[in-house]
Every structure is written in structure tokens, then in C-alpha cells.
Amino acid sequence: GWYEAGYIEALDPFIAKDPDFDKSIYVAKAYKINSTFAGKQVGLPFNMEGRLMFYRKDIFKQEGLKVPTNLQEWVKVVKYFDANRSKFPDGFYGAVYMYAVEQGAAYPIEQYWGMFDWDSFNTTNGFWDDNFQNIMDEDKLTESFKFWADMKKYMPPGIETYNLPEAYQAYVDGMTAMTEVWPLTLYGMLLDPANEEIRKNTGVANIGYGLPMSGGWALTMVSSSKNKEAAWEYMKFMASAENDLFFFREYGKGPSVKATYKDPSLVDIYGEWLTNQSEAIAAAVSAGKISTMGEFYGGDFWVFANQTMNGQLEAREGAKMMIKEMSGILERAGYKQK
């Protein structure tokens, strides 16, 4: 929206005339998802995250369980812990996945992305095509949301109130074998010496049942800048490989540069976590970038999605309502639907 309104400068002319700029240092998804719009480079990647599964390596090994890599395996693990509740402390659950309105609906959307027929459309999000026409698949949307409504019974009581703080805390308190969250805050919690026992027994992996949702930020140049050449130099500096490593190591910012994920100074701290995180990011999907995306996350679409996930709306009815609302979101962004 900011670029369309003329507030943000396209960076392509600066990139074209700068022999020192090397876009290949960046994770491909970070450079594209976070920093492009309508074929223009409108930013440099500054923070990149993809949702990750965190799991207890010790418990999986103890129970002879395989880390799930598809939907069927994920269900098998969840049901195993439910069937063997007596082996674990009171209040322990195989999975703690969020069902509250802020975060929960991402799970069925990620599953939908895993089922979507990407080969049949020119699309980056499975919601609209390159002509900004709504292409959401009602059957697959219905299936994914019904699945999560059905799985709710395997989650802790009150799961419809769980957002990130509750999921993070359940994991570090040792009350679940696996969860899926945005990783950077949980990394920080696990690095607290008080959580050392959990940390050393934690593995991270791709989400298993679909394609992970991406999140991130980009550095942009305002069109009203009085010294655009200086602004460009500052952006390059802030998004450099050196600063990407520094900001992650010191402040936990999501790495956007490939080399950060392999830096030897991080191996003792994060072990295989960063390798697995980089693989998950390579598969991540962005929900989209249009001027009305605030309505996707903060309007009726997300409300309908959460109600459907929690079984308050029947899955088919909820899917229809989400698709209708998506058409409205596109229309209000100026993309007339046929």
C-alpha cells in the first residue's frame, strides 16, 4: 500500500548502478517475499522468520517416535500421546497448538497451502493469481479447517485462549512434546540458563503438515528523502552480512543473510536449529502484500477463520465466508473481481 501510494521509493535504479551490491548474499525468500512488490524491489530484507515446529528430542526418542514430516505422521504423534496420557505428568499434552484469534488460524492456512494445486495457477499465496483474482479453493479450505476443528479435542482445556505467550510457556515448562510458533522469542527463552534442561533436549523442524507461514520486515526508502544516495548507503550497511549476524547474535533479529545460518560462532549456541530454520524458510509462503492486508489479519477474514477452526462455524460455511471476504479485501484494494 505504501509503495502504491507513492510513499516508498523503488530501489531498482540504485541496485542497477551499484557494483558493490550483491543480492545473492540474501536468503532468496527473504529478498523476494519481504522486499518486492509488483515486480519492483522496494526494500532490503532486514528480518526473516518462518514458523517452526519445536519438539522434545528426549521424549520422541524415549517413545520411539519419528519427527513428523507429513500430515499423517503428525496426527499419529498427537494421537499417540493422547492414548498414552497415563505415562506422562498431569497436564502434559503431545501438542500445544494455538487456537486463539491472534495466531491460531495460521495452522489451517498452512495446511491449505500444503494441499493447494500450485501448478495450476500463477500465484504466490494460493489466495489470488497474478491478476489479483480470487482463486481460493473451497474444498481444500474446508478440509483444512475441519481438520483443525477435529484436532482441538487433543489439545489442553482452554486452548481457544492460547496465543504465543501460552504456547511458549507450555513448551519451556515441559508440558508438551511439540508446538509450532514463530521461533525467535522461543529461542531466547530456551537460552535462559533456567531452561537449560529443556534447551538441550529441543529439536526444531519444518512444520510437517503443510507449508510454513513467513513473516518479516524490510528496510525501505521514503520517496521524500532529501538525500537518497545517502539513504541507499545506510540501507546497505544496515542490511549487510556483518550486521545481519550482529543483530541476530545480540538481539535475536531473524537472519536474512545465508552466511548467518552457517556462522561458526553460532553453532555452540544453536546447534542444528539454524540449519533446520533455513530449510523451513526456503519452503515458507507469504500471505500476500496488497494495501488491504490489514483487513486479512485484523478484519472479518481472520475472525471467520478462527471461528471455523474452533468449530463455531461449520467448515464449509466458514470456507465460503472466508472466500467471500477475500474477494472483498481484493476489491477494496482496487482489484475488481470478475
Asked whether residue 142 falls in the same domain as residue 219, the answer is: no
Asked whether residue 223 falls in the same domain as residue 207, the answer is: no
Write down the pLDDT at residue 281. 86
Residue 64 lies in a domain: yes
Write down the pLDDT at residue 266. 92
DSSP structural state of residue 104: T
Determine the Cα–Cα distance for residues 245 and 277; give it in Å rounded to an integer. 15
- Structural domain containing residue 45: 12-49+215-282
Asked whether residue 184 falls in the same domain as residue 222, the answer is: no
DSSP 215-236: EEEEE--BTT-S-HHHHHHHHH
Asked whether residue 111 falls in the same domain as residue 237, the answer is: no
Q: For the stretch 37-63, what's the b/e string if a residue is b when 16 or more beta carbons lie within 10 angstroms of its beta carbon?
A: beeebbbbbbbbbbbbbbbbeebbeeb
Asked if residue 186 lies in contact with residue 252, where contact means CB atoms within 8 angstroms, the answer is no
Of 198, 192, 144, 196, nearest to 170 (Cα)? Answer: 198
Determine the Cα–Cα distance for residues 112 and 137; give it in Å rounded to an integer. 9
Write down the pLDDT at residue 241. 98
Residue 45 lies in a domain: yes
Asked whether residue 61 falls in the same domain as residue 196, the answer is: yes
DSSP 279-313: HHHHT-B-----TTHHHHHHSHHHHHHHHHHTTSS
Asked whether residue 131 falls in the same domain as residue 249, the answer is: no
Residue 27 lies in a domain: yes
Asked whether residue 123 falls in the same domain as residue 176, the answer is: no
- Grid coordinates representing 307? 471461528
Asked whether residue 168 falls in the same domain as residue 243, the answer is: no
Determine the Cα–Cα distance for residues 16 and 226; give it in Å rounded to an integer. 20
pLDDT in tens, 6-23: 999 999 999 999 999 999
Residue 1 lies in a domain: no
Side-chain-facing half-sphere of 195: CA atoms under 13 Å: 18
Among 194, 211, 228, where does a domain finish? 211
Instruction: Kindly give the parts of the chain with pLDDT less than 50.
Output: none
Strand-pair category, 40-41 with 44-50: unpaired
Asked whether residue 118 falls in the same domain as residue 254, the answer is: no
Residue 232 lies in a domain: yes
Write down the pLDDT at residue 294. 92
CA distances to 26, 92, 312 from 173, rounded to whole Å, are: 35, 10, 30
Count of structural domains, the chain: 3
- What residues have CB less than 8 Å from 160, skipping those under 6 apart? 99, 100, 104, 152, 310
Side-chain-facing half-sphere of 318: CA atoms under 13 Å: 28
Q: Where are the alpha helices (DSSP H) in the chain?
A: 12-16, 28-33, 57-62, 71-83, 106-115, 138-151, 164-172, 183-190, 196-200, 228-238, 241-251, 258-261, 264-270, 273-282, 293-298, 300-309, 315-332
Side-chain-facing half-sphere of 17: CA atoms under 13 Å: 6
Residue 6 lies in a domain: no
Asked whether residue 295 falls in the same domain as residue 278, the answer is: no
Residue 3 lies in a domain: no
DSSP 170-192: HHHTT-EEEEEE-HHHHHHHHTS
Q: What CATH number corresponds to the domain at position 235?
A: 3.40.190.10
Asked whether residue 82 falls in the same domain as residue 169, the answer is: yes
Residue 164 lies in a domain: yes
Write down the pLDDT at residue 211. 97
pTM for the structure as a whole: 0.93
Asked whether residue 64 falls in the same domain as residue 93, the answer is: yes
pLDDT in tens, 174-226: 999 999 999 999 999 999 999 999 999 999 999 999 999 998 899 999 999 99
Write down the pLDDT at residue 301. 98
SS3 37: strand
